[in-house]
Structure 1
């Protein structure tokens, strides 16, 4: 599922100034290199322009305003409500989960918290941080969406709140969070919490967007590989999990815990909020929100964020062509015995 992002460069043609003037010039980015296109060819600018031969599976950005901060795999799960064995609609859903598995980015090493409840002082927090090389080692972020769905693409001004429930380097930790559970209560007796069901699998990117007309912001974009386009998409449609989508993502300042205007959400309790190290907390200043730059913000349990629907056409909006690989399912290989995959492959409620 890894996406190859390195272009093979071969000298095929030396462009003249006359060629440049006679032909419309296009621009795009490949692996953070700005390329110029004219005469049906793409070139690296320089004294002797080198034509770039684009390889299959290569990722292309057609605008210099967009930079890729992080690449990885994305998995979607839903959990039915307690004692609901056969859900039929979103009304039967208790939680919507997102799992992000970063695999590469602007830097190969990211920082994550080492324990669930950080010590009281900033100095101690920094000492308890752990470095993870995401290109060599596993890192998983388990996210819960507060409204039990993704934002509606038709309502682009309405933010949806979510938070990071778990950050781990162990697959079993996520499996434990998704598995079924039996328990007893004094008032309602025996209760059964069904296991989560796999809903979608694909690839994601976190992007830095330096739009001239707006303040710098970040996007979380994804493109599904499963279910296939030929399958039904009943649960995906009900939970607003489109085949591809782009969201503006904003990280909430845990210190300024003001309630969103209009009472849209109250956020996590104080003891469950993230405690960011000084170099991340300092980026907020007096602001209530900050772009997900760097993505390391998401490596701290209790990190709260807003997703605002931007588009369901990534290439049209951001000039990014994401190459997916539907040859096999990493989700099933990783979580298959924990989460039913009928919704993933058949697009039906289970």
Structure 2
């Protein structure tokens, strides 16, 4: 359905669009469960961002031979994995080639602006230009353990899809960045759970991999943290966090970030309205998620707004 349309609602919006693209949400039920009926049944919440255009058609990403992209070994549920964060660099024309980020959220929802919740931690698990890598990350798995015997990890299930923007806000004052998205599926009248709200905005901060974590957000092990190139790492200085500017920060595996709930009145505060195309839930062919990744697990949550 494409990357949607952004409409200025006043002549002087204080935002600059850094990146446009598609956003997809998935959840994975806990081991030995094929479906979830509540957040307690969920093992992981995933976000996939597919960058499609922006203020620069060419973005920088990690070298394709580094990190999980290079090893082709996907293990989404093991935060203690020994896989190193991505390093090196490669240029990708996002208007001509897929650029996909597979993101793992530390919680099973997104920050709720109505509740003034604490920041939510997440990290980039995989960055790739190969759609098959994302499909493999979403698949189920059979494996054996020494203590519990044979185990079954169910496939991830599609939870929502839409369009997103990464925005630079108040560029002439105290600049910060936002992730804004608008859902196309499930239909708004059927969405029953987070993150199936039709529209959402959060402030995004990138964590300095050379600074230690905090008692609240310990973060990844040192060997799994991103290895940013010097021109990106230099933007932190001695600070623990920095704005996600440019979005290239998100193109390195092991990139850690915080999402902070922001006002849900996007049009009023930002002077920008994000328009998404409508999709007939009876026609799965209208879903970019299904067309791109297939039905890895059941797509019922995507079209009907239910867990199971």
**Quick one: distance in 2 between partners of 1:282 and 1:136?**
29
CA–CA distance in structure 2, aligned partners of residues 240 and 207 of structure 1 = 20
Asked if structure 2 preserves the Cα contact closer than 8 Å seen for 1:156 and 1:309, the reply is: yes
Give unpaired runs (5+ residues) of structure 2: 69-85, 280-285
Q: Which SS does the other structure have where 1:296 is aligned?
A: helix
CA RMSD of aligned residues (A): 1.9
> Is residue 3–residue 22 contact of structure 2 (8 Å, CA) maintained in 1?
no
- Taking the TM superposition and a 5 Å limit, the aligned residue runs for 1:114-193 are 114=63, 115-117=65-67, 128-156=88-116, 158-193=118-153
Partner of 1:218: 177
| Counterpart check, 1:247 vs 2:202 | yes
Deviation, structure 1 residue 241:
3.7
Structure with larger RCO (C-alpha < 8 A, sep 6+):
2
Q: Which runs of 5+ in 1 are unaligned?
A: 5-56, 119-124
- What CA distance in whole angstroms lies between the structure 1 residues aligned with 2:117 and 2:104? 21
Q: What is the aligned partner in structure 1 of residue 189 from structure 2?
A: 230
- The alpha carbon displacement at 1:64 in A equals 3.1
SS at match of 2:262: strand
Paired residues of 1:98 and 1:142 also in contact (CA < 8 A): yes
Q: CA deviation at 1:258?
A: 3.1
Residue of structure 2 aligned with 1:108, choices 57, 61, 66: 57
Equivalent residue, structure 2, for 1:82 = 31
User: Which residues of 2 match residues 174-323 of structure 1 at below 5 A?
Assistant: 174-210=134-170, 215-231=174-190, 233-234=191-192, 237=193, 239-259=194-214, 263-323=215-275
Question: Could you list the per-position Cα deviations for residues 27-85 of structure 1 after superposition, in whole angstroms to 9, with x for gaps in the alignment?
Answer: xxxxxxxxxxxxxxxxxxxxxxxxxxxxxx56325343111100000000000000012
**Counterpart contact for 1:3–1:58, Cα < 8 Å:** no
CA deviations 1:80-111 (Å, max 9, x no partner) are: 00001231100000000000001110100000
**Is residue 340 of structure 1 aligned with residue 298 of structure 2?**
yes
Secondary structure of 2:122's match? strand
Secondary structure of the 2:268 match is helix
Larger radius of gyration: 1
Q: Equivalents in 1 of 2:2, 2:154: separation in Å?
A: 32
| Equivalent pair of 1:3/1:323 in contact (CA under 8 Å) | no
Residue of structure 1 equivalent to 2:73: none
Report how far residue 337 of structure 1 moved: 3.1
What is the DSSP-based 3-state SS (H/G/I as helix, E as strand, rest coil) of the residue aligned with 1:311?
Answer: coil
Q: Report the CA distance between 1:149 and its aligned residue.
A: 1.5
